[in-house]
Chains A and B, each alone.
Chain A
Amino acid sequence: MPIATASQTIGPYWHLIEHPEFADLTRFGAAGERITLTGRVIDGDGAPLADGCIELWQASPTAGETFPGYGRAAADRDGRFRFTTIRPGPLPGPGNAQQAPHFALSVMARGILTRLVTRAYFAGEALNETDPILSLIEDPARRATLMAHPAGTDTWHIDIRLQGEGETVFMEF
């Protein structure tokens, strides 16, 4: 059996494939509740991930002709990124479990050899209490690193810390 090709860093010059419109998942005319997700990524020194590439994927609502489900944004010099998208709903989980609404996020940059994967959930969402992925994290402080918080009208914000105090929960699968 062939083995999957090795990952290599996206490097500092990935902006050659950057298209700012990719950060707007509503650009093909998607219907639904439009929201903004903002974020800020910092490294182990607290420095912004100024050359980072952030990707978002959501399996809800189902991707199709008018909704790509996928977005890409550059982190700016302050490590900040922004997506415009449609608010996701709950999704089926393992067995009979239901997953709380969430985004999957990939963080790629110089110094990151294989993308780092995490999730953003909506703070205060009742389904978070029984979400099968969040339930794998025993420490409430660690679980809190996956929460986006309200940050203005229809806007949610999440901080992503690559390393050190408050380090974000990153996942493998």
Chain B
Amino acid sequence: MSASATTPFRDITPGSQPPNDFPEYGSTHRRHPKLPLLRIPQTVTETTGPRFTRAQYPAMIDMSRIGGREAVGERIVVRGRVLDENGRPVPDTMIEIWQANAAGRYAHERDQHDAPLDPNFKGEGRVFTDAEGWYEFTSIKPGSYPWRNHFNAWRPNHIHYSLFGPGFATRLITQMYFPGDPLLELDPIFHSVPDEAARNRLIAKFDIEITRPEWALGYRFDFVLRGRETTAMEE
């Protein structure tokens, strides 16, 4: 194993990540540790991680149809890059995607929201970045849906993502939001990120260059994963 594959990752930037206890998001109340987290040095367990291959984890790049039958909703293409904190692309990394349908309903037994299911929309995708860190998938724009966090609570439109990156320390679960959504200001999950700039980086940008004429609206969304520490020489 080369030295670079076990180089520790940079410290987390203060304010860029949500706290474990966030009272406005009621479910955190009984699900956060009350004792301080144990700060540990990054060992080979943290600096290395799993590798996912297209052969063992087949890609699912078009969520907008099943067996040629079109899902209902506004068709979208999401395209962007996965970079690290050193500005380097993260190639060949797996991105898992899941979301509600256009009516704001998940194809999930525990979602009892009174909105229609779409037989042509499952809501699961999986893509891999290319050698330059680019990814792209097709879907439909997810709808908003109510939840029981507080009176008249509605989640803004969002798509869930799961990324692994090069090490256990780079594991990322996040959500992407859409520009101009009036529910963002009212959403405690979005607002759990303390730093405003960090929060706003969770909002995709409408992109006319990604938009396909007569076909689908385009959105740009980049991910940044923790980067390995660099020496002064490399910088």
Interface residues of A (CB under 8 A from B): 1-17, 28, 43-45, 47, 49, 51, 55, 57-59, 63, 68-70, 91-94, 99, 102, 104, 106, 108-116, 119, 132-133, 136-137, 162-164, 167-173
Contacts and interface: CB of A to CB of B under 8 A. Distances in A.
A140 to B, nearest CB: 15
Contact of B122 (A16, A51, A63): A16
A92 B172 CA distance: 25
Given A7-B18, A115-B173, A173-B46, A2 B83 contact: yes
Contacts of B171: 55, 106, 115
A28 B224 contact: no
B69 interface: no
B224 A113 contact: no
B98 A173 contact: no
Given A28-B56, A111-B31, 13 more contacts: A2-B84, A3-B85, A4-B16, A4-B172, A4-B224, A6-B201, A14-B98, A68-B52, A110-B27, A113-B25, A163-B30, A167-B33, A167-B35
Contacts, number: 213
A17 B33 contact: no
B124 A16 contact: yes
Contacts of B38: 136-137, 169-172
Contacts of A16: 98-99, 106-108, 122-124
Given A10-B173, A106-B171, A162-B33, A15 B40 contact: no
Nearest to A95: B41
User: 5 closest Cβ contacts across the A-B interface?
Assistant: A111-B27, A70-B50, A111-B31, A44-B30, A16-B98
Contacts of A2: 83-85, 87, 224
B21 to A, nearest CB: 9
Interface string B40-51: 111111101111
**Range of interface residues on B (Cβ < 8 Å):** 35 or more
A163 B168 contact: no
Nearest to B230: A1
B16 A3 contact: yes
A1 to B, nearest CB: 6
Contacts of B27: 9, 110-111
B66 interface: no
Contacts of A113: 18-20, 22, 25, 28, 189, 192
Contacts of B144: none
A9 B189 CA distance: 8
Contact of B110 (A6, A12, A17, A59): A12
Contacts of B108: 12-13, 15-16
A16 to B, nearest CB: 4
B32 interface: yes
Tell which of A14, A116, A173 has the most Cβ of chain B within 10 Å.
Answer: A173
B194 to A, nearest CB: 9
Interface string B87-131: 100000000111110000011101100000000001110100000
A173 B189 contact: no
Contact of B174 (A7, A116, A133): A7
B202 A6 contact: yes
A4 B56 CA distance: 28
B31 A171 contact: no
Nearest to B22: A113
A7 B13 CA distance: 12
A5 B31 contact: no
A172 to B, nearest CB: 4
B30 A8 contact: no
Nearest to B202: A6
Nearest to B34: A163
